[in-house]
Structure 1
Amino acid sequence: MRTIKTGLCSYGMSGKLFHAPFIDSHPGFELTAIVERSKNESRERYPVSRCYRSFEELLADSSIELVVVNTPVQTHYEMVKAALQAGKHVVVEKPFTVTASEAEALEAIAGETNRMLIVYQNRRYDGDFRAIKKVVDDKMLGDLREVEFRYDRYRTVSSGKEHKEGSLPGAGTLHDLGAHLIDQSLQLFGWPQSVFADLMITREGVGANDYFEVLLYYPRMRVRLKGTVVARVTTPAFVLHGMEGTFLQERSDQQEQQLLEGAIPTISSWCPASKEPDGYIHTTYQGEEIKKQTRSEPGNYMGFYDDVYKCLVDGAVNPVPASEAIRTMRVIDAAMESFHEKKVIPLA
């Protein structure tokens, strides 16, 4: 296999859990270098990789073909731009950028430099989302009328991270968690007609929204996307109601927890499936009434990096092109506008 020498821009949580283990374990990638500005944490697990003290050092390494920009969203525009102009292909964490206009500018630069720009939407590779996608693709509920996706956490104290919970542009759960839900919704249901949103700060000492509700309007369907940090007890993360039935699905994917516990991912299935049922369906499908508990198959984030490899080496389709991430950013922009203007915002 041709080896893609890869540089990682940060070794925080996303680097440790969602990028480095997959790059290192995939036979087609080499984790060539990691940026740590002052610490040496990556040396213990990845001693063969080089440790750079700055992004500029990483870009100056002519051997590196792919750069993973997994730094705070407020830095994405300048860093992705610099990497593309340095001749590197780029994987960039979600949210793609702070605004849609920044996202559009980066897409243009990728075109001008003839480099691949790929957005890291790993939740497409969750087992619970795959279960939802199969039900929707197979039209098991008939014509859908009402859908609700939630991404809830229980964190009543601020993390102190200014880029996530401060007053900086791009901070807040709408950009952070909402980007996942919006991307998943657009993947399943396409482009909505309009958007309405409500945002709130629920905790002391936090400068950005930590609650959001976004309503997407479709001709004969409503999709509600919600997230909060004060959900000590959660409800089903995915609720779909159609003319033939209902499907409930818990947020049950275990990959993040397995990675926290030190699991080493592989291309084949490496994460165990849920031991208990994590879904419930009651519908009429192909003339038969179905009423049963369901259990989703394990997800695999390695699928993302395998798709990236096939894109760069074999010319396969970009797994998450900038054009799709731009649509997510346009919905976020519209949601912000809706909240400030207190009205429904039409989408072109």
Structure 2
Amino acid sequence: MSASLRVALIGYGFVGQTFHGPLLSSIPGLRLDLVASRDAARVQADLPGVRVTADYAAAVRDPAVDLVVIASPNQTHVPLASAALAAGKHVVVDKPFTVTLAEARQLAQEAEAAGRLLSVFQNRRWDSDFLGLQAVLASGALGDVTSLESRIERFRPQVRDRWREADLPGSGLWFDLGPHLLDQALCLFGLPQRLQASLVRQRPGARTDDWFQVQLDYGSRQVTLRAGMLAAGGVPRFLAQGTAASWLKLAADRQEDALKAGVRPGGPDWGQDPDPGWLIAADGERQALPTPPGDHRRYYLALVEALAGHAANPVPPAQACVLMALLETAQRSSAEGRALVPELTAAERAAY
């Protein structure tokens, strides 16, 4: 591996422009060399000096590139990642990894056969609110955790004309926000015994699910994941309850807002979260606990270490396959109106 890995970013829509472009440009050991986009002017305004091509297929095979980061629409993930692996590239795929579990398993096999690193961009593991939750759980202050509510709810009453809200495989709110909430729950508690899901279209004119509630059953511990587009005024990001106390986090991580505002990652105040978590005792007394700073750069920093052979893949394919299995299981659960057990291989069950 060269001292500086040359990176091709495939796709420069919202995710590519807001997250991957700024983050990749801030990581020592990575050099953003090529962007595949049909809007060269937009890319060059943000990233002067970076090569731009409208040919996505050629970009993933570019001989000057070491690492391909795929931030294109969900249906294109598999063919582009497969072509990149066949060309000898390491590959990062934005969530969701693929559109189906079968595709996920096939892509994992291709990476193993090619001897190349394949990883999924689960940046929300490094959100400030989630880091705060991990810290309070590790402290033991809650006792035995009995329930967790994890929510991302917004007020966007108008259905927009974009692929994420179209009736397409891999579209809808569950495939958009579900991977974040599921991955965080799996990192905390591992695999649930079963899950039950409701995926719903609520807004007039909605063409795919725009509200969901998914219950992860861990026996005496219950985890509720919820997201929607009609929550005026907002809701708490997390509520964790235990046998000794509860913990409440109102505001969400601010890195996405900062990136959308043009703030470059890595400054002295990067990821700071002034909203504390609240530890609530049995008598109702509240204690403000400072929230650790978030830092999505830690995913790419860990990736560089993994490619150098100094650390493990931060989000390996087996974890991505588990998450895809749960995404599909939730779809079937909602359609059938009953709780279901995810069907996983032994290796996948050991992934989290």
Residue 349 of structure 2 corresponds to which residue in structure 1? none
Q: How does 1:71-150 map to 2 (within 5 A)?
A: 71-150=72-151
Residue 60 of structure 2 corresponds to which residue in structure 1? 59
CA separation in 2, counterparts of 1:123 and 1:224?
Answer: 17
Aligned 8 A contact 1:269 1:300 in 2: no
The residue type equivalent to 1:93 in the other structure is D
Aligned 8 A contact 1:74 1:169 in 2: yes
Is residue 188 of structure 2 the alignment partner of residue 188 of structure 1?
yes
Residue 280 of structure 1 corresponds to which residue in structure 2? 278
What SS does the corresponding residue of 1:78 show, helix, strand or coil? helix
Out of 323, 327, 330, which is 1:332 matched to? 327
Q: How does 1:215-234 map to 2 (within 5 A)?
A: 215-234=215-234
Aligned 8 A contact 1:148 1:238 in 2: yes
Aligned 8 A contact 1:140 1:283 in 2: no
Q: Per-residue deviation at 1:122?
A: 0.6
The residue type equivalent to 1:307 in the other structure is A
Q: How does 1:1-348 map to 2 (within 5 A)?
A: 2-161=3-162, 163-266=163-266, 270-271=269-270, 273-275=272-274, 277-283=275-281, 291-348=286-343
After superposition, give the CA deviation of every residue in 1:134-179 in whole Å (9 maximum; x if it has no partner): 1122322111111110011111111211x31111111111110011
Distance 1:251 1:329, change over 3 A: farther
What SS does the corresponding residue of 1:110 show, helix, strand or coil? helix
What SS does the corresponding residue of 1:345 show, helix, strand or coil? coil
CA separation in 2, counterparts of 1:199 and 1:45?
Answer: 37
Aligned 8 A contact 1:252 1:278 in 2: no
Moved more, 85-94 or 50-59: 50-59
Aligned 8 A contact 2:244 2:281 in 1: yes
CA separation in 1, counterparts of 2:182 and 2:61?
Answer: 36
What SS does the corresponding residue of 2:60 show, helix, strand or coil? helix
CA separation in 2, counterparts of 1:109 and 1:86?
Answer: 11
Q: Per-residue deviation at 1:322?
A: 1.3
Identity fraction in percent:
34
CA separation in 2, counterparts of 1:300 and 1:240?
Answer: 22
Distance 1:263 1:322, change over 3 A: same
The residue type equivalent to 1:89 in the other structure is H
Q: Per-residue deviation at 1:44?
A: 1.6
After superposition, give the CA deviation of every residue in 1:56-91 in whole Å (9 maximum; x if it has no partner): 221332110000000111111111111111111011
The residue type equivalent to 1:205 in the other structure is G
Give the alignment's TM-score, normalised by structure 2.
0.93
CA separation in 1, counterparts of 2:324 and 2:249?
Answer: 26
CA separation in 2, counterparts of 1:261 and 1:225?
Answer: 28
CA separation in 2, counterparts of 1:32 and 1:52?
Answer: 11
Distance 1:61 1:298, change over 3 A: same
Moved more, 14-23 or 32-41: 32-41
The residue type equivalent to 1:316 in the other structure is A
What SS does the corresponding residue of 1:233 show, helix, strand or coil? coil
The residue type equivalent to 1:239 in the other structure is L
What SS does the corresponding residue of 2:106 show, helix, strand or coil? helix
What SS does the corresponding residue of 1:149 show, helix, strand or coil? strand
Aligned 8 A contact 1:2 1:313 in 2: no
Aligned 8 A contact 2:7 2:34 in 1: yes
CA separation in 1, counterparts of 2:240 and 2:22?
Answer: 34
Runs of at least 5 residues in structure 1 that lack an aligned partner in the other structure: none
The residue type equivalent to 1:321 in the other structure is P
CA separation in 2, counterparts of 1:269 and 1:96?
Answer: 32
Q: Per-residue deviation at 1:270?
A: 4.1
Q: How many residues align?
A: 342
Q: Per-residue deviation at 1:290?
A: 7.4
CA separation in 2, counterparts of 1:93 and 1:12?
Answer: 12
Q: Per-residue deviation at 1:50?
A: 0.7
Aligned 8 A contact 1:154 1:229 in 2: yes
Give the alignment's TM-score, normalised by structure 1.
0.94
Q: Per-residue deviation at 1:269?
A: 5.1
**Structure 1 segments (4+ residues) deviating >6 Å:** none
What SS does the corresponding residue of 1:63 show, helix, strand or coil? coil
Moved more, 332-341 or 32-41: 32-41
CA separation in 2, counterparts of 1:194 and 1:226?
Answer: 17
Moved more, 71-80 or 251-260: 251-260
CA separation in 2, counterparts of 1:269 and 1:192?
Answer: 39
CA separation in 1, counterparts of 2:250 and 2:74?
Answer: 28
The residue type equivalent to 2:250 in the other structure is E
